[in-house]
């Protein structure tokens, strides 16, 4: 396993991040335990979750599963760099979601309780809250850091100007600010190349791509899938508009003798702003198979062919849309 510092921090994380969104809804607790044990065996020390995962409002099912796995001991907690998220609604009463100082405090306490730990390595804002002033957000986060309940703060689904605004506000307070951004990024979703990736590089913010397989569409044989996310009706309906591209992509992968999923994830690893794409294995087989991505080096010629199949926005702004 290869390790890289997360953004401008001294924290070293694995080049693959274990996504846990399937734990509970798609993967049983015993199988989730086995997958997490195997991840540590493979050297993956970076796990991502969220308070809303498990998709039963207010229950935090996935965090609970991770907490019970840690409770087994054996150094599991000490070996894991955990990234969890807040923002989503965890109840039906006011102030049970988003980024008020009140909810930041309560959400953190809830995650700590479910995870059965006394600190969160990376606490990520799942979305921007335009109604919460940055001074309010940072004061709440600073308090959690002083209390030792949070070590680093990250964002998810932020626009470039949100990242700039957040870190400039943190700078004025002599606070570290955002050290990571979790963005949707894949061969089929390259919008962040315009401004988010350049902003992250400029501010030393490590990028953690989510859905590097575009909801399973780049995993190979997506049409007619019977299990996992690829079998969902919305994925199958969405697939039709991309089918010509995906067929060309799968033909290229066949020529290379590589699995489409491995090529797709390896492609995200090429960008210098990317720290660790999130892989979300539903089964042990999927986890073990994902290790090939770390060995796969895509030549410039192959990258050009991928660009021809999946043209991005044309590079960073403003050159992408101006002279």
Backbone conformation region of residue 322, classed left if phi is above 0, alpha if psi is from -120 to 50, else beta: beta
Point out the catalytic residue in the list 53, 123, 152, 185.
Answer: 53
Dist CA 55 CA 222 (whole Å): 24
Please count the CA atoms within 13 angstroms of the CA of 134 that sit on its side-chain side.
17
- State how far the Cα of 269 lies from the Cα of 17, in Å rounded to an integer: 12
Residue 223: CB atoms within 10 A of its CB come to 13
Asked if residues 179 and 153 have their Cβ atoms less than 8 Å apart, the reply is yes
How many CB atoms lie under 10 A from the CB of residue 88?
A: 16
53 as an active site residue: the answer is: yes
The dihedral built from the CA positions of residue 105, 125, 59 and 80, taken in this order, carries a sign that is negative
Rounded Cα distance, 250 and 3, in Å:
29
- Within 8 A by CB and 6+ apart from 24, the residues are 32, 53, 54, 55, 61, 62, 65
The residues carrying an active-site annotation are: 53
């Amino acid at each position: 396993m290869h390790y890289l510092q997360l953004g401008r921090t001294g924290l070293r994380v694995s080049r693959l991040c274990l996504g846990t969104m399937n734990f509970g809804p798609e993967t049983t607790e015993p199988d989730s335990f086995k997958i997490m044990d195997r991840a540590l065996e493979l050297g993956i020390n970076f796990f991502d979750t969220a308070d809303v995962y498990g998709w039963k409002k207010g229950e935090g099912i996935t965090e609970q599963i991770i907490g019970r796995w840690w409770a087994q001991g054996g150094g599991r907690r000490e070996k894991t760099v955990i990234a969890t998220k807040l923002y989503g609604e965890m109840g039906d009463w006011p102030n049970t979601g988003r980024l008020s100082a009140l909810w930041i405090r309560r959400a953190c306490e809830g995650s700590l309780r479910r995870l059965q730990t006394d600190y969160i390595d990376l606490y990520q804002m799942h979305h921007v809250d335009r109604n919460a002033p940055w001074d309010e957000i940072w004061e709440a986060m600073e308090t959690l850091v002083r209390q030792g309940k949070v070590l680093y703060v990250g964002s998810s689904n932020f626009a470039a100007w949100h990242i700039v605004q957040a870190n400039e506000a943190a700078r004025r307070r002599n606070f570290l600010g955002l050290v990571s951004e979790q963005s949707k990024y894949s061969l089929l979703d390259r919008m962040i190349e315009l401004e988010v990736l350049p902003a992250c590089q400029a501010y030393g913010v490590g990028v953690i791509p989510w859905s590097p397989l575009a909801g399973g569409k780049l995993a190979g044989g997506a049409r007619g899938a019977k299990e996992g996310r690829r079998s969902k009706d919305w994925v199958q309906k969405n697939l039709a508009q991309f089918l010509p591209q995906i067929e060309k992509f799968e033909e290229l992968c066949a020529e290379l003798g590589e699995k489409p999923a491995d090529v797709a994830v390896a492609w995200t690893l090429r960008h210098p702003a990317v720290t660790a794409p999130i892989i979300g294995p539903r089964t042990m087989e999927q986890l073990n198979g994902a290790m090939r991505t770390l060995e796969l080096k895509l030549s410039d010629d192959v990258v050009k062919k991928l660009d021809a199949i999946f043209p991005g926005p044309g590079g960073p702004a403003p050159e992408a849309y101006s002279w």
